[in-house]
Structure 1
Amino acid sequence: MSNHHILQIETATPVCSVALSTNGETIAFRDVNEPNIHASRLTLLISELLEETGLGFKDLAGVAVSKGPGSYTGLRIGVSTAKGLCYATDLPLIGVDTLEGMVAGFKELYPGVCAGYARLYPMIDARRMEVYLAIYDQTLQPVMPVSAVVIDAQSFSTEETDRKIVLFGSGADKLKGLFSDNDEVHVVTGFLNSARFLSHKAYQAFLAGEFVDVAYFEPYYLKEFVTTVPKNLTTNPFA
């Protein structure tokens, strides 16, 4: 079987991250968790990664980029860089949903935690008590699509005790105190996004020929926020 190397870029959150995968398996990555460094460090990280692995752009099968939702500035830098590389090298471009990558990475890092909860909620910080979130089951199948919501203490109230949920990501970090007395809601803090979480999905998309148009592709900014607090987020998707 031929080796398909994919360069992966993740800039939707404060973490500036690049990774290289071969046939869906991460072979090297760089994560830098510092604010406002995407513009100055991204191309340098890519160069370092290629040098470390001994690969050149001629060896790549494609470029994958986290497409959002997330930071407007971060997404713009990541997607612009990915598009520029594809223009220069004639490589195909793959867009991967940011939250889908996050939930795959979380299950990889915390399999024991995932086994104990019926629903997984990757979250990206927006502003104040707003977050971008999606809902997945234990098999990583989507239960609720990406949404922008305002969170309060009643957002995840449910009478169905078999649907305990776990929240993680930059949007969840600010919610620890809010749900400290709620046994049905577990908040995992400190989970950092990474380009290495895109490996499996990017390879699947490559094999399926699911490429985006380099000229017209834009990040998924999800600018419009829900202005009211949505209730019972664990139950509405199953009504």
Structure 2
Amino acid sequence: MGYILNIETATKNCSVALAKNGETILCREMAEQGFSHAEKLHLFIEEIIKSAGIIFSDLSAVAVSQGPGSYTGLRIGVSAAKGLCYALEIPLISVDTLTILANQLQIEKGIIIPMIDARRMEVYSAIFNAKKEMIREVQAEILTDSSFSDIEDAVYFVGDSNEKAKTILSKSNFNFVDTIFYPSAKEMSSISYKKFINNSFEDVAYFEPYYLKDFMLQTKSI
């Protein structure tokens, strides 16, 4: 088993991690208010490869965050991943972005709800149990005071929507984990390794990011 390069660009965090046998070896990431993925991503990839003392041909696969998230960020990450896979003739692996975000939190009991900001009171969200199993599929939804009100277990919210969610979600079983803000490539390592072992690969030529909803041209990126 060689190395897997993991790329996460679905949010403001431009993140690259190198893994071997499902363990993160190196990670390089930066989150900025203005998207700098186009400038930073390829630099981070080159730095990771050089720091690890390997060459690109040592990679066994490239994994990329598939979305949902920023249209621009996803396009940059997926384009880079596909380019590497095509040039190196290695498999492409996709990983759900909200799964990456949920994977950062460890709990013994309760529910994990990762949320990615989608402007105003809209979010991309999914629901996971304590074993990190997705029990409700990814949705684009508008938060209201009744959102997730049917859940009686302890709920842990993670992601960059927590600040606005706090203003409207007030049930006593709701907990906001403010230390987990963006998905990170270092949390992709175990997931992408399992997919590699199971030969769960994407078609490099036809794979597209999971935008979840139609992209609307606006003056400012998500």
TM-score by length of structure 1 reads: 0.85
Matches of 1:118 and 1:190, distance apart in 2: 18
Q: After the TM superposition, which residues 111-122 of structure 1 pair with which residues of structure 2 at under 5 Å, given as runs?
A: 114-115=107-108, 117-122=109-114
Does the Cα contact within 8 Å between 2:149 and 2:171 map onto a contact in 1? no
Identity of aligned residues (%): 47
- Given the alignment of the two structures, is residue 221 of structure 1 paired with residue 220 of structure 2, yes or no? no
User: What's 1:231 paired with?
Assistant: none
Aligned with residue 147 of structure 2, among 141, 144, 155: 155
CA-CA distance at 1:193 after TM superposition: 1.6
Superposed CA offset, 1:112-157 (max 9, x none): xx22x52110111101000000101111111100001100122122
- Given the alignment of the two structures, is residue 199 of structure 1 paired with residue 196 of structure 2, yes or no? no
Runs (4+) off by over 2 Å? 171-174, 176-179
- Given the alignment of the two structures, is residue 25 of structure 1 paired with residue 17 of structure 2, yes or no? no
User: What's 1:144 paired with?
Assistant: 136
Q: How many residues align?
A: 213
Matches of 2:73 and 2:212, distance apart in 1: 14
User: What's 1:63 paired with?
Assistant: 62
What SS does the aligned partner of 1:211 have?
coil
User: What's 2:50 paired with?
Assistant: 51
Does the Cα contact within 8 Å between 1:6 and 1:62 map onto a contact in 2? yes
User: What's 1:124 paired with?
Assistant: 116
Superposed CA offset, 1:20-50 (max 9, x none): 0000000000110112100111000000111
What amino acid is the match of 2:41?
A: L
What SS does the aligned partner of 2:212 have?
coil
What SS does the aligned partner of 1:84 have?
helix
Structure 2 unmatched ranges of 5 or more: 216-222
TM-score by length of structure 2 reads: 0.91
User: What's 1:75 paired with?
Assistant: 74
Matches of 1:79 and 1:85, distance apart in 2: 10
Superposed CA offset, 1:77-112 (max 9, x none): 0000100111111111001111111111223xxxxx
Matches of 1:174 and 1:195, distance apart in 2: 25
Structure 1 unmatched ranges of 5 or more: 108-113, 226-239
Aligned with residue 155 of structure 2, among 148, 162, 165: 165
CA-CA distance at 1:173 after TM superposition: 3.4
Larger Rg: 1
User: What's 1:186 paired with?
Assistant: 175
CA-CA distance at 1:183 after TM superposition: 1.1
Matches of 1:74 and 1:165, distance apart in 2: 28
CA-CA distance at 1:224 after TM superposition: 5.3
Matches of 1:170 and 1:149, distance apart in 2: 15
CA-CA distance at 1:186 after TM superposition: 0.9
User: What's 2:198 paired with?
Assistant: 208
What SS does the aligned partner of 2:104 have?
helix
RMSD of the TM alignment (CA)? 1.5
Matches of 2:46 and 2:163, distance apart in 1: 32
